[in-house]
Chain A
Amino acid sequence: MKRALLAFPLALPLALLLAGGAAAEPPQSGFALMAPETQAMQRDDTANPGMLWVQEGEALWAQSGCTGCHGDAPGSMRGAASRYPAWDATRQAPIDLAGRIEQCRVDRQGAAPLEREGEPLLALSAYVAHQSRGLPIDPPEDPRLAPARALGEALFRERRGQLDLSCAQCHDDNAGRRLGGSPIPQGHPTGYPLYRLEWQGLGSLQRRLRNCMAGVRSEPYAYGAPEYVAIEAFLMVRARGLALETPAVRP
């Protein structure tokens, strides 16, 4: 379980995969396709390892002085994660939740930037997103986000990598079918940051997307790249109404 299983199995029956199943049905979280044991692990906060990061985030929230402006997170941050990525007026660009947290830290508090996929930022993001657990994904009706969503959709439909596959070919056309033994989910960003058993740790949506990109043998974008925010902006619209699960558990 400790190996980094980056590439999807090569002996993949491409013909079958490309035959094209039904178009995306009503949105369904990847949770529904998991083994009952993994579902139980996510449901039980005393067994869900993601809660360790949520706890860490709670301590960081107090230590980093977030309380000074925002008060207690359970009140002030409820629902925040369901509205991201949002439009950032300062940068005139869409911003994701981790980016917003960094903006508060760096621009408002003068703190040194955190590593994008480092434990402290993951913990803070998990703590903030956890406050929205159970709430439906509710992308803002903001026309300024339209170009990013359109770019995200184009990237989602673009074939990439040595396997020449688009996200849509797996997550729209073949969702619910199997790829080398594991079910293909519809690919909704409901639970991030989440605990992935394969990672043995918490990871962001960007890490998940990098895994999918490397899986088709394409070069992933660097962490923090605007392409990820665009893909996320599209994925959130696509997942509208699904309940947030942070911290989810995934195989």
Chain B
Amino acid sequence: MARVLINLPRSAKRGELIEIRTLIQHGMETGYRPGPNGVTQQRDIIRSFTCLFDNEEVFHAELYQAIAANPFITFSMLATASGILAFTWTGDNGFAQTETRALTVT
């Protein structure tokens, strides 16, 4: 499992715009780079990131080779109700990781 840092307020007021920041440990190997032995290393990147709020997609991003290692993705969301945020990163070589966080809206 890759290390992940997710930062969002634990609670928000209804109608508040909240900022969500995510950071995940991943090498984002481009597939263009020669390794120490001179042979081009295979591509190994995260290709997609989604955030579901109570199973409804609120944010989605496609990632490509030009994105640096340990991608930092930040976005904002309108807090309408309490619920569960599920963050999923998927990529090459079967990479898949999901993290959840609860949000309380008052």
Contact = CB atoms under 8 A, between A and B. Distances in A.
Of the listed residues B25, B27, B30, the one surrounded by the most CB atoms of chain A closer than 10 A to its CB is B25
A55 B25 CA distance: 11
A45 B33 CA distance: 30
A49 interface: yes
Interface of A is mostly: loop
- The interface centre, meaning the residue of B3, B7, B30 with most chain A CB atoms within 10 A of its CB, is B3
Given A46-B7, A55-B3, A2 B30 contact: yes
A200 B69 contact: yes
B68 interface: yes
Contact of A52 (B7, B68, B70): B70
A46 B5 contact: yes
A46 B69 contact: no
A201 B69 contact: yes
Given A46-B7, A200-B68, A52 B33 contact: no
A56 interface: yes
A55 B5 contact: yes
A52 B4 CA distance: 7
Contacts of A52: 3-5, 23-25, 70
Interface in A1-43: 1-2
B21 interface: yes
A53 B69 CA distance: 13
Interface residues of B, number: 17
B20 to A, nearest CB: 10
Interface string B57-83: 000000000001110100000000000
A231 interface: no
A115 to B, nearest CB: 15
A49 B30 contact: no
Contact of A1 (B3, B25, B68, B72): B68
Contacts, number: 41
Nearest to B66: A1
A2 B32 CA distance: 10
Given A1-B68, A46-B7, A51 B23 contact: yes
Nearest to B24: A52
A49 B32 CA distance: 23
Interface string A52-76: 1101100000000000000000000
A46 B70 contact: no
Given A2-B33, A56-B3, A49 B70 contact: yes
Contacts of A201: 27, 69-70
B37 to A, nearest CB: 14
Contacts of B27: 200-201
30 contacts: A2-B30, A2-B32, A45-B5, A46-B5, A46-B21, A46-B23, A47-B21, A47-B23, A47-B72, A49-B25, A49-B69, A49-B70, A49-B72, A51-B5, A51-B23, A52-B3, A52-B5, A52-B23, A52-B24, A52-B25, A55-B3, A55-B5, A56-B3, A56-B25, A197-B68, A200-B27, A200-B68, A200-B70, A201-B27, A201-B69
